[in-house]
């Protein structure tokens, strides 16, 4: 242990602790900006500087380790003066039109500037202006960038892609797409992890709220909304709604209050996905020599983009089942249009997703199999949902809970856990057990696939059939696993991949609480919802059963292939 003094308080901490962490232990808060624990500890912003007795120069507390007998002052005149000046420098290069910034009220630079009582910027102000394709799902506004490097590091270290890099030198040093490529020509998976880790408003999703509300106000359009599993575990965060109030039924009420016609649940089509993907897996197992292994899940568009750009030869290993988002869209404009007895072209299909890549997925050429324009017309993130609720003056705290609409509003517990890493695998195993044994397993039987570890493996035997499965989350981990599969070091039958750490609960479209990772809290919430749902199996979803009876006939039928599957060629 190391003994030191911080602001006249005695502190004892393990060797290797940073001054920042040691101060936090005794309740002394040092402001930070670029710091992201274990990901970005490069001290580029110099906001966390502190004074050490006997030392001439100030040190960055985020990456300076404590020493025995050290005497630290976090708020000496010298430290505070330098800290404030560093914030002023950053502000002089930052477009501080806060009132129209998407991060206003949730911006770490704004918070630090306010907390340090910075009333003016005594330096000449100038900021960079960049060109950016405004129709791309992920937008970068250089005039807001404070060059903290968090996006560079998260993309490189966690997602293993390295899309962002330092560009230019000297005074013109900036951050941009590496290799000076256009973002549209890069291998960006559009996972949005750079957005959720940006401290300011330099990175954000394309805002699709206007076209959404225009459709709501168009009397010719029937607006059908689907809400993804992981949205219900996070939507309240952006509205300061306590978790016990932010229920899925209040979410249904809030979305309905926007004036949309029908509010449905993506959990319904997650169950439908299990029916299609589960049967596809069993079909591949029966004719094992005709397929290349393993079979990969295909529901995460970040992952699908990743495999197409990084391992194109393995695209054929993807399940042909469309994601629940896309299955839902195809169902809305075919089977559901038939139920409503309306022309499918009147249906405007909207998804609310925890994801930025879903905006890309619904635009992939060919995702229009119902023949009435895109199957999903547009996709909003959880953050956009929170923004539109505020903008339309909807106050969920004052709304009674309401049910989803029917019949596409029924989802099982197996459907809701899709939003957490391991959930798709567990849902599939529950149904595979039923198909192979003719009876249901204990719904908790496949608990071993749960968890937050980046790569998890499970060996199972169902009805005498041995299944080797792997579950991976985060694209950096995915690359490691892919290399093992390629080299033959690892062999599996079925692999679930989610691009975002923790799965969709940690998605790039979720509300942002800077410096706090909430994926695990949200994940637990989804397993709780699974447990309390009387319906635990996708194959028992009555709406899915009826959809097969009335429309799709059976899993992998001709109609299912037409509407619910894709060859991933586009
Ligand atoms: Fe997901 Fe999905 S589980 S990818 O995380 O499969 O985005 O929540 O909606 O489509 O269901 C995201 C979440 C979905 C889809 C589902 C899958
Ligand atoms: Fe989107 Fe989920 Fe994939 Fe992240 S893990 S890119 S949120 S689908």
Pocket of ligand 2 contains residue 228 by CB under 6 Å? no
* Residues at CB less than 6 angstroms from ligand 1: 228-230, 266, 270, 299-300, 323-325, 353-355, 358, 418-419, 424, 503-504, 507
For the chain, the residue count is 570
The pLDDT tens digits of the residues spanning 116-127 come to 999 999 999 999
Q: Is the pLDDT of residue 171 over 90?
A: no
Q: Is the pLDDT of residue 54 over 80?
A: yes
In a domain, 569, yes or no: no
The pLDDT tens digits of the residues spanning 195-226 come to 999 999 999 999 999 999 999 999 999 999 99
In a domain, 115, yes or no: no
- Compute how many other C-beta atoms are within 10 angstroms of the C-beta atom of residue 259: 13
pTM, two decimal places? 0.96
Domain range enclosing 45? 2-92
In a domain, 117, yes or no: no
**248 and 319 co-located in one domain:** yes
Which whole number is the average pLDDT over 462-482? 96
Q: In whole angstroms, what is the distance from residue 174 CA to residue 569 CA? A: 36
In a domain, 114, yes or no: no
**Residue 16 banded pLDDT, cuts 50, 70, 90:** very high
Question: What percent of the chain is modeled with pLDDT above 90?
Answer: 98
Name the residue at shortest CA distance from atom 4 of ligand 1: 300
120 CA distance to ligand 1 middle (Å):
45
- Which is nearest to 494 in space by CA: 422, 561, 436, 566? 422
**Residue 276 banded pLDDT, cuts 50, 70, 90:** very high
**223 and 237 co-located in one domain:** yes
Looking at residue 70, which CATH number applies to its domain? 3.10.20.740
Largest alpha-carbon pair distance within the chain? 81
**200 and 216 co-located in one domain:** no
Name the residue at shortest CA distance from atom 7 of ligand 2: 507
Pocket of ligand 2 contains residue 475 by CB under 6 Å? no
In a domain, 444, yes or no: yes
Which whole number is the average pLDDT over 163-175? 88
Looking at residue 171, which CATH number applies to its domain? 3.30.70.20
Name the residue at shortest CA distance from atom 17 of ligand 1: 299
**Residue 173 banded pLDDT, cuts 50, 70, 90:** confident
324 CA distance to ligand 2 middle (Å):
12
In a domain, 118, yes or no: no
Kind of pairing, strands 465-473 and 222-227? unpaired
**20 and 134 co-located in one domain:** no
Contact 115, 47 (CB under 8 A): no
In a domain, 228, yes or no: yes
- Domain boundary residue, one of 33, 66, 92: 92
Ligand 2 pocket test: pick from 269, 300, 352, 474 the residue with the most ligand atoms within 8 Å of its Cβ.
300
Name the domain count of the chain. 3
Q: Is the pLDDT of residue 493 over 80?
A: yes
307 CA distance to ligand 2 middle (Å):
14
Q: Is the pLDDT of residue 509 over 80?
A: yes
At 37 the pLDDT is 93
Question: What percent of the chain is modeled with pLDDT above 70?
Answer: 100
155 CA distance to ligand 2 middle (Å):
14
Ligand 1 atom at minimal distance to the Cα of residue 355:
7
Here the tokens at position 522 are: 């949200």
């Amino acid at each position: 242990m190391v003994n030191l003094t911080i602001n006249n308080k005695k502190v004892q901490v393990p060797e290797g602790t940073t001054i920042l962490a040691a101060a936090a232990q005794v309740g002394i808060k040092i402001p930070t900006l670029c710091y992201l624990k274990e990901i970005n500890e490069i001290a580029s912003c110099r906001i966390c500087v502190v004074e050490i007795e006997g030392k001439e120069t100030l040190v960055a507390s985020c990456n300076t380790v404590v020493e025995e007998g050290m005497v630290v002052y976090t708020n000496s005149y010298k430290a505070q003066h330098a800290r404030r000046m560093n914030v002023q420098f950053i502000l002089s290069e930052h477009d501080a039109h806060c009132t129209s910034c998407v991060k206003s009220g949730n911006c770490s630079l704004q918070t630090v500037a306010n907390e340090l009582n910075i009333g003016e910027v005594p330096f000449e102000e100038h900021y960079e202006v960049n060109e950016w394709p405004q129709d791309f799902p992920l937008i970068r506004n250089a005039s807001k960038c404070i060059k903290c490097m968090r996006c560079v590091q998260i993309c490189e270290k966690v997602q293993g892609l390295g899309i962002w890099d330092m560009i230019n030198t000297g005074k013109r040093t900036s951050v941009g797409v590496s290799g000076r490529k256009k973002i549209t020509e890069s291998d960006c998976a559009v996972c949005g992890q750079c957005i959720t880790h940006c401290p300011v408003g330099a990175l954000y999703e394309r805002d699709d709220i206007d076209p959404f509300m225009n459709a709501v106000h168009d009397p010719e359009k029937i607006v059908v909304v689907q809400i993804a599993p992981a949205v219900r575990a996070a939507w309240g965060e952006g509205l300061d709604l306590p978790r016990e109030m932010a229920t899925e039924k209040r979410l249904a009420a809030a979305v309905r209050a926007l004036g949309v016609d029908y509010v449905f649940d993506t959990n319904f089509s997650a169950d439908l996905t299990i029916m299609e993907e589960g049967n596809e897996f069993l079909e591949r197992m029966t004719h094992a020599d005709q397929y290349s292994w393993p079979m990969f899940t295909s529901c995460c568009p970040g992952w699908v983009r990743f495999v197409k750009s990084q391992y194109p030869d393995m695209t054929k290993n993807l399940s042909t089942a469309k994601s629940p988002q896309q299955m839902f869209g195809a169902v809305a404009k075919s089977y559901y249009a038939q139920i409503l007895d309306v022309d499918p072209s009147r249906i405007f299909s909207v998804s609310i997703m925890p994801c930025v890549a879903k905006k890309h997925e619904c635009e992939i050429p060919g995702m229009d199999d119902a023949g009435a324009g895109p199957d999903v017309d547009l996709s909003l993130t959880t953050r956009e949902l929170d923004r539109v609720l505020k903008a339309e003056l909807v106050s969920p705290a004052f709304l009674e809970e309401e049910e989803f609409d029917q019949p596409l509003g029924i989802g099982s517990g197996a459907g809701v856990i899709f939003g957490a890493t391991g959930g798709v695998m567990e849902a599939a195993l529950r149904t595979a057990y039923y198909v192979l044994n003719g009876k249901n397993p204990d719904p908790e039987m496949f608990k071993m696939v749960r968890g937050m570890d980046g790569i998890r493996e499970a060996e199972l035997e169902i009805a005498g059939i041995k299944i080797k499965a792997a579950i991976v989350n985060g694209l950096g981990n995915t690359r490691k696993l892919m290399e093992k599969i390629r080299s033959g070091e690892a062999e599996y039958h079925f692999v679930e991949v989610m691009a975002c750490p923790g799965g969709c609960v940690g998605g790039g479209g979720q509300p942002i609480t800077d410096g706090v990772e909430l994926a695990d809290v949200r994940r637990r919430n989804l397993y709780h919802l699974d447990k309390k749902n009387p319906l635990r199996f996708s194959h028992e979803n009555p709406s899915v059963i009826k959809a097969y009876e009335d429309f799709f006939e059976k899993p992998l039928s001709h109609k299912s292939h037409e509407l619910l599957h894709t060859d991933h060629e586009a």
